[in-house]
Structures are given as structure tokens and as C-alpha cells.
């Protein structure tokens, strides 16, 4: 089977400082891959390259076998600080990415469907500043799902939330993904989050970053992080990270 995302030996320097140094991996269709690494290792740069916002100095990124040149609605980025437009209502935000020539009513119905799916029913006409951090994150996920992307790029999506909301959103994400299977690339510094969510975990080295380990997670969802296997997995990943 062809890989959905294939990243081939990409390298990136900022001025003379090498940040990404020969990263090579692929993600299968429908697979959930998490990338963990120490902070400042170049995770976000890697994500920007894979999502098409920046170009690598060397190497290439292919999506469905075609070279990635610029961002497209095929793969939507969800980032730490979020990008829900504060000047649009929840519904207007969710309709933002719908560029087709459907009627306004159809678009609104689609937006409302996804608002309900993430638990924002009743808040369609609220402005983002009237929402809590968790609700804002749901709105952002819904806005991505509305355009039916094949890939979700998540860059530390829940790390700006408080600890409880962080745990809650993990389950919400899994629930939403079980309804519509997407290919997901998650970047995080949180090893437990990666173990809880992903099918496969890649471990990055410090800067200049490259992939130094790969772990498969076979347990079915919902996972219990306290099981001996997953505890062992966490130990192994942490020791790769030098802890």
C-alpha cells in the first residue's frame, strides 16, 4: 500500500543553524502517528514543512505520491494557540473553509452538524471570546472536520489547555475520529498523550532533529496508561528522550 504521507530525507537550516537533519518517515492512510521530542528540537518546523507552510532545503514531502508544494484543505493544521477567527461566530468559523458553491443554508447545516458532533450545539452564534479554552479547541477541530480533510496535522493541540481539559479532549478527539477516520499526524512533547492516542510513535532527537526511535502501540482504545505494557512503553520512550 502506498503511504498517505511520505517524508523523504528532509533537511532545514535557519541561517547556518541546522534544525531538521534528514528526517525520513511515512504515514499510512488512516494511521495516527505521533511525533514526540524535547522542546526546541524542531518539531514545529518539521510540522510546518510536512503541512506545506515551509519548504525543506533538501528532501521532499509527498502526499498520495504527489509532491507537496503548498498548504491545501486536504490537510488541515490544528495548532497550540488555535486560529479560530475571533471576529466570526462559531457557525461563521465553521463555514469559513466551505468554498464550494453550495447554498448558504446547506453550508450552515453542515457547520451545525459538526458543531453538534464536537459538543458545541447551542453555541453556533457565540463569538470565540465567549467560549472557554476547551470549547474553542472543539470549534477549531470542528472547523477542520467540516472541510472533510484527509489529514489532520495537530501541533501540540491541547497543551494550552489545563490538565483536566487536556485529558478530556483526548477522549473527544478519539470519539470524533472513530466517526470519521482521518490520517493524523500529531506533534507533542507529552509522551502519555502520544501513547494514549497514537498507533505509532516516532521519537525525535534534540536539534538538529532526526528520528531516533519508532514504537508501535497495539492496544485497542480506550487505553489504560497504567497497564504494565504501556508503562514499559513510556519508560522506553522516555529513556530514548534521555530521561
CB of 235 to other proteins, least distance (A): 36
Task: Please tell me the chain's helix, strand, coil percentages from 3-state DSSP, rounded to the nearest 5.
Answer: 35, 25, 40
- By CB under 8 A, the residues from 5 to 34 that bind other proteins are none
**What is the pairing mode between strands 75-79 and 200-204?**
unpaired
Question: Binding pattern to other proteins, positions 108-147, x when CB under 8 A?
Answer: -------------------xxx-----------------x
CB of 46 to other proteins, least distance (A): 16
Q: Choose between 86 and 222: whose C-beta lies nearer to other proteins.
A: 86
Question: What residues contact 75, with CB distance under 8 A and at least 6 apart?
Answer: 51, 52, 63, 149, 150, 151, 152, 153
Question: What residues contact 66, with CB distance under 8 A and at least 6 apart?
Answer: none
Q: Choose between 96 and 213: whose C-beta lies nearer to other proteins.
A: 96
- Spatial contact of 157 and 19, defined as CB atoms under 8 Å apart: no
Q: Which of 92, 165, 190, 206 touches other proteins by CB under 8 A?
A: 92
In whole angstroms, what is the distance from residue 163 CA to residue 45 CA? 25
Choose the stretch contacting other proteins; rule: CB under 8 A; options: 37-45, 95-103, 112-120, 186-194.
Answer: 95-103
Choose the stretch contacting other proteins; rule: CB under 8 A; options: 38-46, 71-79, 178-186, 193-201.
Answer: 71-79
Q: Choose between 90 and 237: whose C-beta lies nearer to other proteins.
A: 90
- Spatial contact of 87 and 28, defined as CB atoms under 8 Å apart: no
E strands, 192-242, in order: 200-204, 211-216
Interacting residues toward other proteins by CB under 8 A: 51, 53, 70-73, 76-77, 79, 81-83, 85-88, 92, 96-97, 99, 127-129, 147
Amino acid at each position: 500500500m502506498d503511504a498517505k504521507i511520505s517524508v523523504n530525507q528532509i533537511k532545514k537550516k535557519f541561517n547556518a543553524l541546522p534544525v531538521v537533519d534528514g528526517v525520513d518517515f511515512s504515514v499510512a492512510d488512516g494511521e495516527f502517528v505521533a511525533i514526540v521530542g524535547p522542546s526546541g528540537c524542531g518539531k514545529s518546523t518539521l510540522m510546518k514543512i510536512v503541512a506545506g507552510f515551509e519548504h525543506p532545503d533538501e528532501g521532499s514531502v509527498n502526499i498520495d505520491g504527489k509532491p507537496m508544494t503548498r498548504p491545501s484543505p486536504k490537510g488541515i493544521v490544528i495548532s497550540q494557540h488555535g486560529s479560530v477567527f475571533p471576529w466570526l461566530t462559531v457557525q461563521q468559523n465553521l463555514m469559513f473553509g466551505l468554498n464550494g458553491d453550495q447554498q448558504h443554508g446547506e453550508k450552515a447545516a453542515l457547520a451545525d452538524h459538526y458543531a453538534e458532533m464536537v459538543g458545541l450545539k447551542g453555541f453556533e452564534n457565540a463569538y470565540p471570546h465567549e467560549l472557554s479554552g476547551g470549547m474553542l479547541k472543539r470549534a477549531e477541530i470542528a472547523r477542520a472536520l467540516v472541510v472533510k480533510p484527509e489529514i489532520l496535522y495537530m501541533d501540540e493541540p491541547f497543551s494550552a489547555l489545563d490538565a483536566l481539559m487536556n485529558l478530556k479532549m483526548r477522549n473527544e478527539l478519539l470519539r470524533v475520529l472513530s466517526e470519521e477516520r482521518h490520517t493524523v499526524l500529531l506533534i507533542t512533547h507529552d509522551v502519555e498523550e502520544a501513547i494514549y492516542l497514537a498507533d505509532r510513535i516516532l521519537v525525535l532527537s534534540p536539534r538538529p532533529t532526526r528520528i531516533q526511535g519508532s514504537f508501535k502501540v497495539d492496544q485497542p482504545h480506550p487505553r489504560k496508561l497504567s497497564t504494565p505494557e504501556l508503562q514499559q512503553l513510556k519508560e522506553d520512550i522516555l529513556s530514548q528522550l534521555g530521561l
